[in-house]
Amino acid sequence: MPDSEYYLKNWDILKKQLEDFKKFLIHLHGFSELFGHSIVYLFTRPFYLRDILVQMHSIGVRSLVIVLLTAGFTGLVMALQSGYEMAVYGAKMYVGTLVSVSLVRELGPVLTSLVVAGRVGAGITAEIGSMNVTEQIDAMRALGTNPVKKLASTRFIAITIMLPILTIIGDATGIFGGLVISVSSLGISAPFYWMTVLRALTLNDFLAGLIKPFVFAMTISTVSCYMGFTAKGGTKGVGEATTRSVVVSSILIFFLDFLITKFILSVS
Which is nearest to 65 in space by CA: 157, 169, 210, 180? Answer: 169
Full-model pTM? 0.88
- Please tell me the total count of domains within the chain: 1
**Among 235, 234, 119, 223, residue whose Cα is nearest residue 166:** 119
Q: Tell me the residue range of the domain where 90 lies.
A: 2-267
Closest CA to 38 of 212, 163, 157: 157
Distance from CA of residue 143 to its chain's centroid? 33
For the cut 60, the answer to whether the pLDDT of residue 8 exceeds it is: no
Using pLDDT thresholds of 50, 70 and 90, give the confidence band for residue 217: very high
Q: What percent of the chain has pLDDT over 90?
A: 38
Q: 78 and 140 in contact (C-beta within 8 Å)?
A: no
**Residue 7 binned pLDDT confidence (cut-offs 50, 70, 90):** low
The average pLDDT across 48-74 equals: 91
pLDDT of res. 112? 94
Q: Is the pLDDT score of 165 beyond 50?
A: yes
pLDDT of 129-158, one tens digit each?
998 888 888 888 888 888 888 888 999 999
Confidence at residue 1, expressed as pLDDT on a 0 to 100 scale: 45
| HSE value, Cβ hemisphere, 13 Å, CA-based, for 26 | 8
Q: Is 249 exposed, middle or buried (0-12, 13-18, 19+ CB in 10 A)?
A: buried
| Percentage of residues of the chain with pLDDT beyond 70 | 94
